[in-house]
Amino acid sequence: MKLKKVPFVLSFATAALLVVGTTTFAEEDSSGMGNMMNGNGMTNMMENGNMSNMMEAMNSPEGQEMMNSCSNFMSSYDAEADTESE
């Protein structure tokens, strides 16, 4: 009788571990991608004081020059990617 109880207890313990493990890993954490997908990450980023400083810097002549350079680079990169795909 004892010989038949051991496999039953082991299978029950394994099943319990699987259930606890999957619920633990499936639980969504309060930070990271799930939080950002809900919009909280973007809101917090925009409310940050450093973000407003950066936005003001983008409106300066140097910031506009940088934006134009980035735009030109991305346009040339997109054109190059289009010619490679053909």
Classify the phi-psi angles of 29: left when phi > 0, otherwise alpha if psi is within -120 to 50, otherwise beta: beta
Render pLDDT for 1-49 as a digit per residue (tens, 0 to 9). 556 787 888 888 888 878 877 766 666 555 556 655 666 666 677 777 7
- What is the full DSSP assignment across 3-55? HHHHHHHHHHHHHHHHHHHHHHHHSPPSSSHHHHHTTHHHHHHHHSHHHHHHH
Question: Among candidates 73, 70, 72, which has minimal Cα distance to 62?
Answer: 70
Residue in the block written with tokens 């936005």: 55
Place 62 in a pLDDT band, splitting at 50, 70 and 90. very high
The pTM of this model reads 0.40
